[in-house]
Structure 1
Amino acid sequence: MSSKKVVLYFTADITDQPIIYRLVKDYDLVINILQADINPQKEGTLVVELTGDNFGPGIEYLRRLGVAVQPLTEEIIQNEEKCVSCGACTAICPTGALYIERPDMLVKFNSDRCVVCRLCVKACPMKAMEVRF
């Protein structure tokens, strides 16, 4: 089975539909919600990791419903030459992708857990966390 990270954009008229359930039930996809945001107007964005063999039909289903689907093309990288392991980024990281490794007390980055929220980029005083397109 392969995995793919995508960003889903929902309009208010479809947020009440069981879209994730249908992806699981009808297309046998495993959905890992990495980040979710729904505004007061009920428009939403989901960053999800899809795992399975039916990406194509599942994505086509989403597009038929009016969900905009984009691959997650940005990534965060840690510039280890700039990093001084101050830990400022670890406190702000919502997924635990950035953590302090003990006993060395070095900041480590697990890119598989990253949802590209960019909070670490803003928090890093040394500008060691960078966005790559």
Structure 2
Amino acid sequence: MTITNKKISLRFPRHLVDRPVVYHLIKDYNLELNILKATISSEEGHMVLELRGERADFDKGIEYLTKTGLIIDTLCREVTRNEARCTDCGACVTICPAQAFSVDSISRDITFDEEKCVVCGMCILSCPSRSMELHF
């Protein structure tokens, strides 16, 4: 028995936001999951999950998600901050769903905690100085 543990990002198009996806992953595919981030509206959805289970169940669960039409991205990447480029503008602080950024109340310097990062990429998109970088 091989156990697989991976973080994945799911994007839900409008016509799939009302599907009980998480329920099926647990009930039908025996997967344990931890929802790291979720934003679901009637228009679209995005969810970052940490999935864990036997390799065969994991593969079947991913196949189910793919056949359902969800956009899946495995998080086999890391986000880093280029300190030389960062201007401490704070754009990343408010956008980060994992609260991986903090602001020093006195100096106003921004600190990035890579351990909290769920690699959603929101900070990369919001950073005007392009100091947030994605590495595969």
Distance 1:18 1:92 in 2: 27
Q: Does 1:114 align with 2:115?
A: no
Change (3 A) 1:3 1:13: same
Amino acid at match of 1:52: G
Deviations along 1:43-75, one digit per CA (max 9) or x if unpaired, are 433332212223111112222333333323554
Q: CA deviation at 1:117?
A: 3.4
1:51 aligns with 52
Distance of 1:106 and 1:21 partners within structure 2:
38
Kindly provide the CA deviation profile for residues 63-114 of structure 1, in whole angstroms up to 9, marking residues without a partner as x: 2333333323554212245457x47233442311123589x97713224433
Q: For residue 13 of structure 1, report the CA deviation from its aligned partner.
A: 4.0
Counterpart secondary structure, 1:113: coil
Residue 65 of structure 2 is matched in structure 1 by 62
- Cα separation, 2, equivalents of 1:92 and 1:51: 27
The aligned runs of 1:6-85 (5 Å cut-off) are 6-33=8-35, 34-38=37-41, 40=43, 43-53=44-54, 54-72=57-75, 75-83=78-86
The alignment of Structure 1 onto Structure 2 pairs a total of residues equal to 129
Identity percentage over the alignment?
Answer: 32
> In the alignment, is the contact (CA less than 8 A) between 1:38 and 1:45 conserved in 2?
no
1:124, CA displacement in angstroms?
5.9
Cα distance in 1, alignment partners of residues 28 and 78 from structure 2: 30
CA distance in 2, matches of 1:91, 1:13: 29
Aligned partners of 1:76 and 1:111 also within 8 Å: no
The 2-side partners of 1:120 and 1:9 are apart by: 18
SS at match of 2:133: strand
Contact 2:38 2:48 in 1 (8 A): yes
TM-score by length of 2: 0.65
Aligned residue identity for 2:46: T
Aligned-pair RMSD on alpha carbons? 3.4
Instruction: Name structure 2 gaps, 5 residues minimum.
Output: none
- Change over 3 Å in CA distance of 1:18–1:37 after alignment to 2: closer
